[in-house]
Structure 1
Amino acid sequence: MSSTDPDIGHLLSNPSGDKPATGRRFAFWLLPLAILLGFALIFGLLFRDRLLPAKAVPVAHAVGIEEALENEIPQGETTAIHGDLLFQASGWVEPDPLPVKVTALTDGVVEEVFVYEGELVEKGDLIATLIGIDTRLERDAKAADLADVKASFEAHCTGTQTALKQMDAEKAQLAIAEANAAEAADKLQRYERLTSGAIPADEMQKVRYDHTRSLAEIDNINARIAGIAENLNKIAFEVQAIQARIQKAEIDLEKAELAHSRTRITAPINGRVLKLVSAPGQKKMLGMDDMDSATIAILYDPRHLQVRVDVPLADAAGLGVGQTAKIRCNLLPDEVFEGEVTRIEGSADLQRNTLQAKVRIKNPNGKLRPEMLSRVEFFEIPPKSEGSGKSEISSAMGVAVYVPDRALSGGSVWICDPETSRAESRSVTFSEKKGGLVRIDSGLRPGEWVVLDATGVRAGQRLKPIFND
């Protein structure tokens, strides 16, 4: 072997041969180790709350209790009278009774849209237009056809007047011819009474010819009169046909005008745009299977809203049409809406184990929107009071929030956020205590989770709620 062999040269320069191999193995493991450490760091940052144990604390719901204030209601006035609270259920706001679809009644392509979602519209307002040049040309063509048929009718009417005048002229000629025939007949009779030879034969023959010619003229005029009468009958039948053509042309024009007017889609009701289902350039087909293939927009009346409530079957026995209810929405936590059960669905939901009911919202707020989550409280229907006094005592119900007194710490309470399970300190004002409960006047809403023992709890700490109702 020569001294320049690479293996021998390497061995000569590094007789042991171990240290460089160990360095390479260490560099090979360094990159995967760094990647694993990076993943572990990211995992720890993302899931540190779940990895660290949450503090277990006893919690209870802030209870909303209705308190009645007795007021004297004059006879003839009405107020909502609620019985005992039966149960509560969640629901979603929706139009009452149904949303209204704005539909294109003819096929076409959307040219322009004039409204947006959430916009208020009035009945008759322009919602959108379809490209209508073809329907406009069709309407103009039908209008021209109608004008042509009407011109034919006028021409036939003029021909009728001309024929009637010709009839009058022929009748005058007939009277003259009849007079001439009578004169020729009289002359012939006088000549025939004369003695033979008194009148030359040529003259006698001429008188006979004049009488025959006058009779022929009468027959000729009568034939012309009969022809004019037949022409008038023909014109009369043609007029009937033209009138039928005019009626058909008017119907065709009305259909063309209707088709052209349908390129302007207007609002059928006063309401708010719930959803837009069109855009400029989009085609609309009336005969398609897709139920929204011809829909331009969906409207609803914001003055008529209801809540679609899924009532658990365990509570559904207490449902009844006409039942009073109270509705609360997270959008307006301090406002309570009066409601009334209007409908109960005919079948239950097997998967959810619920029965759906519709609760009409009386005097809804303009800020409410469909599909907003709501909480509905159903009350027992109280018995009707007997008697016909001039006034009656009615209860004006107000909701007061109560929490256990041990949840109160000075002028604040600790609450547990139901979504994040984080602790939050809330400043509240309270008034009276009764039965181990404290009435909270402000700072707390019904249903919030109140921490009963906040020892060692800090703001933002993750909690494990243990309900103690």
Structure 2
Amino acid sequence: MINLHTQNQIAVSKETNQPNGYINQKLLPIFFFGFLVIILIIVFRDRFLTQHEVEVTKAILYPNDQEELSEGNLSLTKKGPLLFQASGWIEPDPFPIRVTSLYSGVVKEVHVLEGQKIKKGEVIATLIDEDARLVLSEIDAKLSQSMAEEGIIEADIKLAHAGLEAALAKVSKGVALVQENNDTVNRMSSLPKGAVSDQTFYQAKLALQRQKADLATYESEVLQQRALIIKLEETLLAQTKKSEIFSVQKEKAQLDLKRTRIVSPINGVILRLLAKPGSRMMLHMDDMNAAVAAILFEEGKLQARIDVPLNEVAKINLGQTVEVTSSILPDEIFGGRITRILGEADLQRNTLQVKVSLVDTHPRLRPEMLCRAKFFGISTDNEMGKSQYKTFINRDLLKMGSEASNFEKEFWVISKNGQTCEKRKISIGDTVKDQHINVIQGLLPGELIILNPPESLVSGDRVKITEIK
């Protein structure tokens, strides 16, 4: 009995001790996954917040003394704070120049090498020109033959004019003989009967008819000579046009012969050499490089092709100050300014490309070298910039009256992070340019103003830009 009671107590104690360990093992994964969910919510909380879709307009920069921005006055004299950095590549400014052969043929000799400096008019490559020379000789011979035939026709025209003069002389002589014989017949017919024998009178009338027939023949010869002259003149005109065709063909053959020497159109540097001895230069092919002998760029004219992240696009503007560095020249800083903002973003990279023209370049810089760009804002203490430039906003899009000026108004503005909004009081001036009015205080060039703020919008809300007007 004692042993049975002891065994029951041991069994009860095991049953009472088991749930604590079992519960702890069961709750541990729950606590772990709960902690992981909390971490994910904290890290990605912005993605779970509601985004308001809005349309915006950008504040722009105008010079005080001009109606529009020009490429020469886009940048201010002093840079502001650093906004962001982005990577890109060096490339020719504004474009690489393709030296295309305008004559299809086989390369005979190449006179330059890649990376070599070249002057305008200097020969890059020559093509085999024997065929072009033979064509020129053939056309030249045809032209000479055609011009000789022109001379023959001109001589025939002169001969025809001489024949016409002879025919006209015969006509004049025939007219005189007809008049003479006609007078004889008239006189004989007026004499008394028997004064002239019938045979003599009959012979006189036959002579008159014969002279009239001869006169008709002479007049026909005149018509024939005149028709011949017209025909020869038309033949001469056709032959002249044929000579003109041969003359044009000769000019083309001379041009083709000249084009067998491919020359540089600019002073520049050989970026890429495509022509090689024995290779073919073929026009009218699907391959865009089929007739390209070399690709050049102008020395000293370089730009940076920078991929700007889309969340930083709101901070860029034409003429913005940029500093570019490259690992090949780590101690050199190249100043530049934004000259172009491309019209289409890269969906895969999630970037928008801009072109930064470099003011001072280095001979060792080459296209397709990697670079790093720093984008700067506008300095708020730049007195020269303040005196020469003003910030403007679109008055019509913001639904301001045409008479409104010199007042303060609150606008919803996209924050510097480009993802949230904030309410800001902006002072409006009285300077109007086209549909824009200047801003005195509260807004910088490139900042975005919301055009259609929802009624439920509060400062700090996330927004999604659907259109920039």
- TM class, shorter-chain normalised? 0.5 to 0.7
Q: CA offset at residue 330 of structure 1?
A: 3.5
Q: Give the 3-state SS of the residue equivalent to 1:380 in structure 2.
A: strand
**Structure 1 residues 17-66: Cα deviation after superposition (integer angstroms, max 9, x where no partner):** xxxxxxxxxxxxxxxxxxxxxxxxxxxxxxxxxxxxxxxxxxxxxxxxxx
State the match for 1:49 in structure 2.
none
Residue in structure 1 matching 2:264, options 260, 267, 276? 267
Please tell me the residue identity of whatever aligns with 1:359. Answer: V
Tell me the residue number matched to 1:198: 195
Q: Specify whether residues 138 and 228 from structure 1 end up closer, same or farther in structure 2 by C-alpha distance, changes over 3 A only.
A: same
Per the alignment, residue 380 of structure 1 pairs with 377
Task: Find 2:205's aligned residue among 194, 198, 208.
Answer: 208
Counterpart of 1:233 (choices 220, 230, 234) is 230
Unpaired stretches in structure 1, ≥5 consecutive residues: 1-76, 391-469
1:375-409 per-position Cα deviation (integer Å, ceiling 9, x unaligned): 3221002357489989xxxxxxxxxxxxxxxxxxx
Whether 2:102 is the aligned partner of 1:105: answer yes
Match of 1:309 among 288, 306, 313: 306
Confirm whether residue 362 of structure 1 aligns to residue 351 of structure 2: no
Give the corresponding residue for 1:218: 215
1:148 aligns with 2:127: no
CA RMSD in angstroms comes to: 2.6
1:244 alignment partner AA: K
Determine the C-alpha separation between the residues in 1 that align with 2:152 and 2:172.
31
Residue 338 of structure 1: which of 335, 354, 369 is its match?
335
Cα 1:121–1:340 change in 2 (3 A) is same
C-alpha separation in 2, matches of 1:211 and 1:253:
62
Shift of 1:83: 0.5
Map 1:6-405 onto structure 2 (within 5 A): 80-382=77-379, 385=383
What is the letter of the counterpart of residue 305 of structure 1? L
Tell me the distance in 1 between the aligned counterparts of 2:159 and 2:346. 82
Distance 1:201 1:353, change over 3 A: closer
Change (3 A) 1:355 1:194: closer
One-letter identity of the residue aligned with 1:280 = P
Question: Does the residue aligned with 1:222 lie in a helix, a strand or coil?
Answer: helix
Q: Write the distance in 2 (CA, Å) between the matches of 1:324 and 1:386.
A: 15
Cα distance in 1 for partners of 2:94, 2:386 equals 35
Secondary structure of the 2:154 match is helix
Letter in 2 for 1:150: M
Matches of 1:216 and 1:352, distance apart in 2: 102
Distance 1:380 1:389 in 2: 17
Q: Which moved more, 1:351-360 or 1:266-275?
A: 351-360
Aligned-residue offset at 1:104: 1.6
SS where residue 187 of structure 2 aligns? helix
Aligned residue number for residue 66 of structure 2:
none
Distance 2:164 2:326 in 1: 90
Letter in 1 for 2:201: M
Tell me the matched-pair count.
314
Kindly, what percent of the aligned residue pairs are identical?
Answer: 39
CA distance in 2, matches of 1:241, 1:291: 42
Distance 1:371 1:132, change over 3 A: same
Spell out, residue by residue over 1:166-201, the C-alpha distance to the aligned partner (whole angstroms, 9 max, x if none). 111211221122112211221222222222232344
Q: 1:106 to 1:140 in 2, by over 3 A?
A: same
Distance 1:101 1:201, change over 3 A: same
Q: TM-score, normalised by structure 1?
A: 0.61
Residue 402 (structure 1) aligns with: none
Q: 1:379 to 1:168 in 2, by over 3 A?
A: same
Evaluate the alpha carbon distance shift between residue 206 and residue 305 of structure 1 in structure 2; reply closer, same or farther with a 3 A threshold. same
Contact in 1 for aligned 2:89/2:371 (Cα 8 Å)? yes
Native 8 Å contact 2:267 2:299 kept in 1 = no
Specify the code of the residue in structure 2 equivalent to 1:104.
S
**CA offsets, 1:40-97, max 9 Å, x none?**
xxxxxxxxxxxxxxxxxxxxxxxxxxxxxxxxxxxxx997310011122233211011
In 1: Cα distance, 2:304 partner to 2:385 partner: 35
Gaps of 5+ in 2: 1-72, 389-469
Q: CA deviation at 1:314?
A: 4.5
Name the aligned partner's letter for residue 194 of structure 2. G
Q: Distance in 1 between matches of 2:143 and 2:136?
A: 11
SS for the counterpart of 1:84 is strand
Helix, strand or coil: the match of 2:160?
A: helix
CA distance in 2, matches of 1:328, 1:282: 39
